[in-house]
A and B are shown apart, each in its own frame.
Chain A
């Protein structure tokens, strides 16, 4: 197991290197970060353009720029931002925590929902519950994330009106300079998290519950479950101990694989709810042709995704004794 883990990590490094290089090339080709400077009216002095060109290493060949970026990373230097006042490394840490909070909570909510709904609708196949779950699962699966988020915002406002107090917030991850007790502060943060978490969770849960239902059905149809039943084990034990445990295996892979798409979903959610997380960071970086900011985003996200995939593979082995990584 340890050897497998180490080998996977060793393999992941070239993957990261190559993917970072690909994105570096793409990002560098995407546009000229000096465009706004060049378009300025009156035109800036040539010295300014030369300074910026040098600061952003635009005159160096692509490979050399990549090398400088790569070696910089090991010294904690994420490279120069288009915005001279911005230190990419400092900013991305804060942003990561914001996004982590959003994604982690949404994933937990979505997973719990998915497992419960998936198992119930598999066990009670073709019941009204199954149809209801299927229908709503498909409905959320078919909804544009921001469309749902905009509706949720309106629902949140209606809720506030009904309660007569501002309980649910529509922008930001907390009220800036919130003054109040610890409890009030917690309530404030929770009030800000409700809508983004729901909108992100609903959209992920739908796909997972479908998976959970399918794999649960497959397991429940297998011979060993029939054997378990034939042995006269109680239905509950069969479902949970024998069925669910095995039916969870595919979901781990799917969850891990979906992490990248949840991160993509979070980009949209952060935009709608004006959270200052990684997604907002990325959109800014792309809009301003900020190559090194884009790279920092990629590095962090890709590392997380790779780690997650690794964990999923390991979990797979733990959960399914037939699979052994030697």
Chain B
């Protein structure tokens, strides 16, 4: 039974997996484990009851299925030319076609795949690296903190678009490269948030208690600090996924994102920026897909946060 903590961080070698092993503080540990299980179930139940988040999750799953399964089954392949040029939506082409007769539905599905891949890669990479980095810095404090946070600051002072544009200009637009560029800059942002939370938790009683019980630093960070910082980090990670999709869109608009012959939602929507009043199907469909994906992810994150952080679900009066 994985704890919520291990869904985002890998257990470090020093930390007992699952928490069922008897340790020097065997009794306390077992009791804690039992409590955590029920807490996970509580979180799950709370999330399931969060309707907006559940609806969003269903929509997102459907979108992902549509992009990958639908894309494979759809009668037109991405990039395939048809004789119907600049056709408005019809049963044959539900999203219409572009100047060269490419089926916009097939294009949007492909774009969705690439944009999702970029976003997920960014979120995973940036969140994992950023959380660990920030937690370690915040926990140890002092020189370690200063040095590690200077590295974060260093990256934060490099405005994302400048570096991403420069790299995009240099290496051209492969999707994973763009994802790595965005993630390679965004983890620093996550690290600052993680550090902030850890700083405020560090002096709390339960940490001192854990320290007094002889827990190792790694254990305290991974078992106590990170789980308690998770709410803030998840809010961040969701924003990050949306940000990654939108950032890719912005980069494509500026000409430094994914480049043809491949495509992304960002590229599709920037290519169609002139089509707003003349071929609206080219402008609105990829744009609505971007909004839909980003909205769903944000709502899911919101639901997760509410579920993870029961304090905030309702003001107690």
Contact = CB atoms under 8 A, between A and B. Distances in A.
Q: Does chain A touch chain B in the assembled complex, meaning CB atoms less than 8 Å apart?
A: yes
A260 B273 contact: no
B294 A141 contact: yes
A268 B250 contact: yes
A265 to B, nearest CB: 8
A302 B160 CA distance: 11
Interface of B is mostly: helix
B142 to A, nearest CB: 13
Given A19-B158, A23-B162, A144-B290, A218 B250 contact: no
A302 B247 CA distance: 20
Interface stretch (B22-30, B96-104, B165-173): B165-173
Interface residues of B, number: 56
A286 B166 CA distance: 6
Contacts of B61: none
A306 B154 CA distance: 9
Contacts of A139: 291, 295
Interface in A3-37: 11-12, 14-16, 18-19, 22-23, 26-27, 29-31
A138 B299 contact: yes
Given A11-B150, A30-B169, A268-B254, A22 B242 contact: no
Interface in B279-317: 283, 287, 290-295, 298-299, 302, 305, 311-312, 314-317
Contacts of B150: 11, 14-15
B112 interface: no
B287 A142 contact: no
A294 B239 contact: no
Nearest to A12: B153
Contacts of A126: 314
A150 B311 contact: no
Contacts of A292: none
B157 A305 contact: yes
Contact of B158 (A23, A141, A257): A23
B160 A144 contact: no
A267 B254 contact: yes
A249 to B, nearest CB: 10
B163 interface: yes
Given A143-B291, A144-B249, A260-B157, A150 B170 contact: no
A247 interface: no
A309 interface: yes
Interface in B213-251: 235, 239, 242-243, 246-247, 249-250
A283 interface: yes
A257 B243 CA distance: 14
A226 B315 CA distance: 10
B158 A30 contact: no
The 4 closest A-B pairs by CB, nearest first: A142-B294, A264-B161, A302-B157, A144-B249
Interface of A: 11-12, 14-16, 18-19, 22-23, 26-27, 29-31, 125-126, 134, 138-139, 141-147, 150-151, 154, 207, 210, 214, 217-218, 220-221, 226, 229, 250, 253, 257, 260-261, 263-265, 267-268, 271, 282-283, 286-287, 294, 297-298, 301-302, 305-306, 309
